[in-house]
Amino acid sequence: MVTADRPVPLSPAAHPAPARSRARRPAPETPSRRDRAVIVVRPVDAAHGVIITVSGSVGAPDATELGEHLRRELDRDPSVVVVDLSAVPACDRAGLEVLSQVRDRARTSGIALHLVHLGAPDARAWLTAAGLL
Number of domains in the chain: 1
In a domain, 3, yes or no: no
**Residue 34 confidence (pLDDT):** 54
Q: What is the pLDDT of residue 123?
A: 85
- Report, as ranges of residue numbers, the positions in the chain whose pLDDT lies below 70: 1-34
Percent of all residues in the chain with a pLDDT value above 70, rounded to a whole number: 74
The whole domain housing 114 covers 33-129
Q: How far apart are CA 68 and CA 117, in angstroms?
A: 21
Q: Is residue 38 part of a domain?
A: yes
Q: Decide: 130 and 98 in contact? Cβ < 8 Å.
A: no
Domain annotation covers residue 24? no
Within a domain: 17: no
Predicted TM-score (pTM) of the model is: 0.69
Q: Provide the CATH number for the domain around residue 62.
A: 3.30.750.24
